[in-house]
Structure 1
Amino acid sequence: MTDTAPQRSDALKNREAILQVAHDAFAESPGVSLNSIAKRAGVGAGTLYRHFPTREALILEVYRLDVDRLVGSVPEVLAAHAPLDALRQWFTTLAAYVRLKHGLGDALNTAAVQEVVSTTSVIVTEAVGRLLEACEQAGAVRPGLDPTDVIMLLSCLWRTPDNSEGAAQADRLMELAIDGFRP
């Protein structure tokens, strides 16, 4: 029984390495091969497939972890920035995550995807609610903004092109929306 503990530790370490490499590799090129990811992670293809039997399973886990990290960053972002600036920064990061997911759209077309998107949308909505509450308490936005409405309105951010012109457009759109949120 003592032999299984190190295997579990190694398996966890391998899984984490695969996920980190996959995150970076998918950001660089959505079409990257799983064999390439395994090699970069320092594991064999069999190890990768034991953890993630399909490309979709790996993509979904990377996406889920990205969203979990983003949602978990709300307290840190609020501690480091004024509430309205925290909202701006957080939505900019969210847009980058969603843009990555959209870049992988061909691979993400199943019921499993819908389950992950539904689950993550709940925690994202809660995170936006916390950001809006902080903004409301600071007097930066009017009371009673609905987080789902704000997400819908700001979804335009991840539809802008992933280049400097798109970033400038996203900044302008963000400011238009924030003007509408003000008291």
Structure 2
Amino acid sequence: MATKREQEILALIKQDSLITQAQLAEKTGTTRSNIGSHISNLIKEGLIVGRGYVFPAENEVTVIGAVNLDVLGAAKAQVSTTGSTPGRVYSFIGGMGCNIATNLDNLGLKTKLITVYGNDTNGDLFQAEAQNNELDLSDALRVERPTATYVYLNDVDGRRINCSHGAVNVSVSMSMV
């Protein structure tokens, strides 16, 4: 555990990582050899790493994966295969990578998300949500294309409707409120 003097030295080093031991001694009112002893203790404690006062990296998790807009159509009545079905439409930011990164962040881990997303309104929504969740997007790529969007439908009981066998014709008309 760093002493009060060592905490003072750390604060000065954080302000100027190129500060010399002589300068540290002058600013703290002690000797250069005393500073050298404190620096040695700070290195042993892992609070700085080697010469040049390099600080240890923070624990960080990097997630590589997709981000997309999920659009859910939820039926309020039995789904009609020949006409319209009353229901509600919900949308939210999703994608496996985004979901994992957000959950890791919620566990208190510093999280970086490497992904690709579009330069559109949905990309803006994703960026805002990532910022609210303190996700690091410094290595994410924003492209001049729409953000991926996935639409799925649930029946009145909340079960996913399988449209892959042609049993249900789907026509989606949405307006976001």
The TM-score normalised by the length of structure 2 is 0.32
Q: TM-score, normalised by structure 1?
A: 0.31
Instruction: Name the structure with the higher helix share.
Output: 1
Larger Rg: 2
